[in-house]
Chain A
Amino acid sequence: MTVPTTTPPPRAASSESPPPGGGGRRRMWAPYAFIAPFYVLYVLFMIVPILVACGLSLTEWVGLGTPKFVGLRNFLDLARDTSFHTALANSTLYVLVSVFVVVPCALLLAQALHTKGLRARDLFRVTFFVPMVLSPIVIALVYSLLLDTQYGLVNSVLKALFGGGGVDWIGDPDWAKSTVAVVVLWRWVGYLTIFFLAALQAVPKDLYEAAELDGAGAIRSFFTVTLPSIQPVTAFVVVTSFIGAAQLFDEPYLITNGGPGEATLSVAMFVYRAAFQRQQFGYAAAAGLVLFVVVFAVSQLLNRLLAIGRAE
């Protein structure tokens, strides 16, 4: 699931009015009543599951029978499980691709769409967003047919143009990783672009004029004006992409099934596989918690790091 997140530090940026007089008692509980529904759901569907995951992670359980308390053994096993290492490495790769390929591509695309006097800007913007609107299963289906090694359209075109046997998009470990990465790029880039585009449109024109007067070229004004001005949005997009990529499931599950072997296995897939294909619920819960700790820590760190730059 792709929950967009956003970077401003975890504090309520608000214009709250000083508590206007009147209302008194009534006003005391009102805010709590307004936020209560969220926190009830939040406790039920977030806090409780996390606590249950903690309990479960200390047990061994196939789903039926009695969970057996095993202490920290699941975590020790994870530390030695080559498969989990592979999943961590792959997820790290997805994160790196998202942050260092997808995000820059989105920025470039936004910059292009921001060109003054561009016609059909809305058409481009909307079209690039469409993959985000489609079901991952639809995307997976279309791509696995297009990329079939023997008969897929992409290889047919490549063979017609360059000869040779085409590329084994899904069967070769390295290509399979690239395939997943490309589909992620295809699916996410348009979505991230709209944030950059909105940010670019919000940069005050006089900043550019000043830079131009300074004699700054396009490239330099990009680095001295554009980047600093859109930094908050960049931070937002980076954190969004990080969290989205760290929990990537749909693409590797649907397109490559984690394969060949485990070449595209992600951590989220590892959790799913352990619980629902291998009946190791305790082990799955432990792996989930490891993912949680890592993602949570890194995103808090990113929030701090990126937001600091913004405050100054």
Chain B
Amino acid sequence: MAAQVPKFSRYRRPSGAPPPPQGPLSRRALLRAGAGLGAAAALTPGLAACAGGQNADPRASGDVELAFWTHDEAYADFFEVSAEIAERASDFRYRLRLSRAGAEDLVTKAIAQAIAGRGTPDVAGFEIGAFPRLLRGVLAEELLTDLSGDLGDAADDLLPSRTAPFSRDGRLYALDSDAPLVVYYYRESEFERLGIPTDLATWEELAEAGTRAHERHGVSLGAVPVGSEAGVNTQGFEMLLLQRGGRFFDEDGALAIESPEAEEVLGFLAEGLRTGFLSSVAGLLHPPMQAALKSGAVLGQWMATWYRIYGLEPNVPEQAGQWRIRPLPAFRSGGVRTSFTGGTGFGVTRGKENTLAGVELVKAAYLTPSEQVRRFRDLGYLPTRRSVYEDPELLAIPDEFCGGQPTFEVYRDLIDEAPSIHLSADKSTLDTVLSGYLLQAYHGDISPREALARTAEDFRGQTRNSRD
């Protein structure tokens, strides 16, 4: 671990992050804690002394070794090439030092290192489910560089739906590496064999066909995650909720789950599970799902772009060529034909020696159109610049796993329908609470309305102490 010597300097991001709070103040705050406890506080010398005190002169050129953290190793190779592009555009020469951790762990570790005042990453990819934790208090502000001033010509081209989740108070803390549109995957050969139409326009029609298929052949046309991971469970629900026009949090981060849309979607899933049109699994990427796909018990699934690469291809390689994608069937009562789930925002730690180098790297990787093209080609992640969706090369790529289907066409047709997502620092609280009531609603133990009402009630009870 390269020790980062904290140095105070004049350096500020152009957008002007507020001056970092200083140590002595916190000491005083702690010392006020009363006589006996004051002694305790004194035992914690500099509890916050170096908090936010990471201020080193950033290098503007030369050899840099970046601590690069990701939960997904696929990014390692990708960024090696991005570094070459960044080298051409700047005076840096890059070496990347890769650290890998689970998506949740990565955020935990980044914060822990920030507390320690050293060993923080220079560039890190924050998975969208874990990122909201940085929205609490001053964390993001203390830890990450505001990239909003670095966008250049991309500023108006970036999809607002992919910058909004990583923005707060006008600052942009990370650039999303994906626009993970949700589509419906289906095994065409099996649909055909069982006589299930593949072009049904609405969920309601598909549910009807699916129910019949289940009665006759015991198959399901989708799976709903009901495992032990709260975030995975809520994800299954959120995809369709967003599609229907609902959401978890509104623009201000306030809970918005008690809506007719949420009730409808939850009711739809519960009914689907009851009739067998849908089946329940521990998680859409987990071995039980693999077993379901392998055995042909599940023949379709609504999921993000990356599901082919991370879900289908590794789990059922023998079904290559049998799968297709299509826009989601719409809900009869409204909404759009797609949704979002997932995404990973790459951010740069502020106030470090390598901050500028990190910014250049992330810009090269995520703002250069050619890199956006390459990312879809190599990793299957969709562009975040709207203009790249018209790229003829991408539109022409046949997807062999999907029987040669030019899948990018489907995405191009859907991208303008994509809903916006708003995050809240209390997302993990919601996941925990909602996940429990979702399962009860799926079981039919409580009505969708009741599940949502109880979720809201518990959520409010638990976030009373949330002050961000």
Which residues of A does B touch, CB under 8 Å?
48, 51-52, 54-56, 58-69, 73-74, 77, 80-83, 144-145, 148-151, 168, 170-173, 255-263, 276-280, 283
In the complex, A279→B26 CA distance in Å?
A: 17
User: A83-B461, A277-B108 in contact; A66/B436 too (CB < 8 A)?
Assistant: no
User: A51-B43, A150-B292 in contact; A259/B142 too (CB < 8 A)?
Assistant: no
In the complex, A148→B468 CA distance in Å?
A: 38
Convert B359-380 into 0s and 1s, putting 1 for each residue whose CB lies closer than 8 angstroms to a CB of A.
0000000000000000000000
B461 touches A63 (CB 8 A): no
B209 contacts A by Cβ under 8 Å: no
Binds A, one of B309-317, B390-398, B425-433: B425-433
Partner of A52, one of B34, B43, B108, B443: B43
Partner of B114, one of A63, A257, A262: A63
User: A65-B21, A150-B291 in contact; A173/B436 too (CB < 8 A)?
Assistant: yes
Which residues of B does A touch, CB under 8 Å?
20-22, 25-26, 29-30, 32-34, 36-41, 43-44, 47-48, 51-52, 104, 108, 111-112, 114-115, 133, 136-139, 142-143, 226-230, 233, 279-282, 287-288, 291-292, 428-429, 432-433, 435-437, 439-440, 443, 458, 461-462, 464-468
Partner of B436, one of A168, A259, A278: A259
Given A52-B40, A67-B26, 4 other A-B contacts at CB below 8 A?
A48-B43, A64-B52, A150-B281, A150-B292
Q: With a CB–CB cut-off of 8 A, which chain B residues contact A149?
A: 226, 280, 282, 288
A64 touches B429 (CB 8 A): no
In the complex, A256→B32 CA distance in Å?
A: 41
Q: With a CB–CB cut-off of 8 A, which chain B residues contact A151?
A: 287-288, 291-292
Chain A residue at minimal CB-CB distance from B465: A77
Q: With a CB–CB cut-off of 8 A, which chain B residues contact A257?
A: 228-230
Q: With a CB–CB cut-off of 8 A, which chain B residues contact A59?
A: 29-30, 33
B142 touches A65 (CB 8 A): yes
User: A82-B458, A259-B436 in contact; A170/B115 too (CB < 8 A)?
Assistant: no
Determine the main DSSP class of B at the interface with A: helix
Q: With a CB–CB cut-off of 8 A, which chain A residues contact B227?
A: 170-171
A69 touches B29 (CB 8 A): yes
User: A55-B41, A69-B33, A150-B281 in contact; A81/B115 too (CB < 8 A)?
Assistant: no
Give min CB distance, B9 to chain A, whole Å.
19
Partner of B29, one of A66, A73, A81, A276: A66
A-B contact count (CB 8 A): 175
In the complex, A73→B464 CA distance in Å?
A: 11
In the complex, A307→B52 CA distance in Å?
A: 52
A255 touches B139 (CB 8 A): no
B288 touches A150 (CB 8 A): yes
In the complex, A278→B229 CA distance in Å?
A: 16
B30 touches A262 (CB 8 A): no
Chain A residue at minimal CB-CB distance from B130: A277
Partner of B465, one of A81, A145, A258: A81
4 tightest A-B contacts by CB?
Answer: A261-B436, A51-B40, A62-B137, A77-B465
Q: With a CB–CB cut-off of 8 A, which chain A residues contact B436?
A: 173, 259-263
A55 touches B465 (CB 8 A): no
Q: With a CB–CB cut-off of 8 A, which chain B residues contact A65?
A: 20-21, 48, 51-52, 137-139, 142
In the complex, A145→B283 CA distance in Å?
A: 13
A66 touches B111 (CB 8 A): no
B439 touches A55 (CB 8 A): no
A261 touches B433 (CB 8 A): yes
A261 touches B25 (CB 8 A): no
B139 touches A279 (CB 8 A): yes
In the complex, A80→B33 CA distance in Å?
A: 23
Q: With a CB–CB cut-off of 8 A, which chain A residues contact B43?
A: 48, 51-52, 55
Q: With a CB–CB cut-off of 8 A, which chain B residues contact A54?
A: 36-37, 40
In the complex, A50→B366 CA distance in Å?
A: 46
